[in-house]
Chain A
Amino acid sequence: MTTGDGILTGDESKWRCSGCDVPLVISKVEVSYLGSSFPVDLARCPTCGLVFIPEELATGRMLDVEQQLEDK
């Protein structure tokens, strides 16, 4: 998973932050696993920082990267 590498699914426009009542915006988020971290473009609340990870990302590319890192 690299920065801005096709992980936006379009689903993010359907969600907004419930607490802050604002739409989500795409921004760089630092994700990490097993000591490796890297910036990823994710939808998040511009006010409180709550992040949105769509199901396809969690069960797809994110899982692949997790498994690759586990075998490093």
Chain B
Amino acid sequence: MDQKSLRILEEKCIQDCAPACTAGCPAHVDVKKMTAAVGNGDVSTALEAFMRAVPFPGIISHVCDRPCEDVCIYNEIGNPIAIRAIERTCVEQGSRPDFNKLRRPQRSERVAIVGGGISGLTAAHDLARKGYRVTVYESADRLGGRLWRADRNYLPAEVIEADLAVLPDLDVEVRLGTEISVPLTELRAEFDAVYVATGAGEAGVMGLPADDHGNAVVDPITFSTSIDGVFAGGGLLWGPEMHSSITSISEGRRAGISIDRYLQEVSLTASRTGEGPYESCLYTDLEGVEGRPRIEIGHPDDGYEWYEAMLEAKRCLQCECMECVKVCQYLEDYKKYPRKYVREIYNNLSIVQGTRHANRFINSCSVCGLCAEVCPTDLDMGEVVLDARRTMVEQGRMPPSAHDFALRDMAFSNSDKFAMAKNPPGSDSSNYVLFPGCQLAASSPGQVEKLYSHLTTSLSNDQVGMMLGCCGAPANWAGRSDKFDEAINRWRQELESMGNPTIVLPCSSCFQVFKTALPDIQIVSLWELLDDKEIVPEPATGEPRTVSIHDPCTTRHETGIHDSIRRMVDKIGYEVDELEASRERTSCCSYGGHTWLANKDLSNRIVERRINESDADYVTYCAMCRDFFAAKGKRTLHILDLLFEPDVDVRATRTGPGYSQRHENRARLKRHLLRDIWGETMDGDERFEEIELRMSAEVAASLDERLILIEDIQRVIEHAERTERRLVNNETGHLLAYTRPEAVTYWVEYLPTDDGAFEIFNAYSHRMEIPGSDES
């Protein structure tokens, strides 16, 4: 990820965009902050937020034309939030912050403001706070300009006076009753900069270039005129028809920024996006939000009582997007949102020396794509995360423990223990080849045998081959492009040697791998094949019941698969109570992306969240989804259970096999298939595999929890017994030995039994190297 792509990603996330009210306000009042504070009864914090944008809060909270309320998204469900009335309560009830404390040191440059209306006074206020020496020329005998023409009940005189009292505090020099009769060039010669804000229809008089209507023409961004150092804004630009105090304030402030930059001799135009009103890019979902009635005010000229303002402020929806965070436990767990996350990932990848705090975050995503599905701008954190993992691998900075277990599992599946590719007996090519994947074979090897038998029978005019192995998905999730390409190339070659059959895929992760990495080969989802060819096996049970379907996340955009599954479930005679988050909105079981390996606590929360979405039994068509849900006590069926198993209740509550048993099941499946279908035997086991182990259920569960396999233990015992390098416990007589086959050192506490087996009492492991641990 370079800086440019970081910025593109950051901009894709709209969570930090200003809400409609703030964006639509020419002065960008932080309405969310203000209403949140008022809602909490903290009017002073609210007033401070208001006054950061508006120097004359009393006036604005009386006469603002309220563009914020026009664009407030509450309009879609009711009356908009009464923002101006809330502002007025803040002014009446809150204490004004002393911004003078923040006043910068006095500077020597002098600025003339021509016109004491609200635009000129805003510029005067801002520039005086920046330390400039400001003189205001006003032709009338008081400041305020057009404000004095308003109805006094609507805008009381004391409100104007209270607001303008800030100017003497800022040492602004005011010359009332003073008409500027000299040309602006002369005034400019006397001052370092001039802001002309004399109000509508004065452009010609002041000698500024004007349009056909007599309105002054200025640069729309900087408010500079054709005269160097002279700026103009306010009513002078718009003519007498339009009047908006908040726009006057905005223009006075923006002209003030330009004058400051002009006097400091820096660019007037750099980074000036988002000034003035604009359309918000924030998305806020209003589904399910019920509008509540506005708290009404007794008389239009009156304000709220403080408690009324509080109630009204609480009506504010506090607009935000958070669409992805709402649906994803992972994004929620880390308590931020993608705009922040992509920056953290970028920083993590850029660290040369120091702790990489985001490693675990990067390795915890299930890359399921749900965030992109719900994102208004399609930002896919999964893609960002996978890219980051590949970079970490390239940099040599992927934590070795993060994906190691899964990669070794993949290596096992693609070793001779499991992997094979066979045409049907007596044929030297295939039209179809069943690729059950590693986990269906590990979880339900018997069903794979039944499935193969069913396909060869029902596709009797075709040659149906069998290919066993792991597609390579774990390598992809681990950022290991080398191992992924190796797996893919292997399958490409195997398929070629079988005459390029159509590959039949029960597992949707395999389906996505083959679909994206080998786009030129023919693939078909097993479920669509069964459905399309009308060869769905006659179910062993048809007892009607209601189930919810959990679509595996890798089928997200595979509508055809979703439909086929539902037709099959219907045909079996089951009612479907659809989960709210199904099909393209489905969520991952936490197997994807190795969340379960990188972050066990998160994985548990993900599973709990999903299994509690419905009380009905779940039906799914991914072995890992099924086993993960069942492990937490959720009755979950694989659709093959419905087709091939007579006792569905037993299948629904079955706990999936442990990690050692998964290896064993894969190896056994291959052995059975070779023996029963091809009449072949497998090569002999290695020496250590003949070691027979006994252990209690508690010890077996502890091994699984610690990701220690039977074969790891067999290796330690074989080594210890052969070399006699082991410790003995003085009290129990137990033996303790260790060895390090590859990257992990395994410790096993054991005793030989009378009949030549070994009883296991405990096992643990570490990755740190100690002398003399290597296998020899």
Contact = CB atoms under 8 A, between A and B. Distances in A.
B765 A58 contact: yes
Nearest to B767: A66
Interface in A15-36: 15-19, 24, 29-34
Interface residues of A, number: 33
A33 B762 CA distance: 24
A20 to B, nearest CB: 10
Given A14-B729, A65-B768, A55 B724 contact: no
A5 interface: no
A66 B400 CA distance: 10
Contacts of B354: 72
Interface string B724-758: 11111111000110100000000100000000000
B766 interface: yes
A71 B399 contact: yes
B729 A15 contact: yes
A16 B730 contact: yes
Contacts of A58: 747, 764-766
Contacts of A65: 768
A55 B762 contact: yes
Contacts, number: 89
A12 to B, nearest CB: 9
Given A53-B747, A70-B359, A31 B768 contact: yes
Nearest to B723: A19
B355 interface: yes
Nearest to B358: A71
Contacts of B690: none
Contact of A50 (B729, B766, B772): B772
A34 B770 contact: no
Question: Which of A24, A48, A55, A70 neighbours the largest number of chain B CB atoms within 10 Å of its CB?
Answer: A70
- Residue from B401, B706, B766 whose CB has the most chain A CB atoms within 10 Å: B766
Contacts of A15: 727-730, 736
Contact of A70 (B401, B738, B765): B401
B771 A29 contact: yes
Q: By CB atoms of chain A within 10 A, which of B725, B730, B736, B768 has the most?
A: B768
22 contacts: A16-B727, A16-B728, A17-B727, A18-B735, A31-B769, A32-B768, A42-B770, A45-B727, A50-B726, A50-B727, A53-B766, A55-B764, A62-B766, A65-B768, A66-B401, A66-B767, A67-B399, A70-B399, A70-B400, A71-B359, A71-B399, A72-B356
Given A33-B769, A42-B770, 6 more contacts: A14-B730, A32-B768, A52-B727, A55-B747, A66-B768, A72-B356
Interface of A: 14-19, 24, 29-34, 42, 45, 48-53, 55, 58-59, 62-63, 65-68, 70-72
What 8 A-B pairs have minimum CB-CB distances, sorted nearest first? Answer: A70-B399, A18-B728, A58-B766, A15-B727, A33-B768, A19-B724, A71-B356, A55-B764
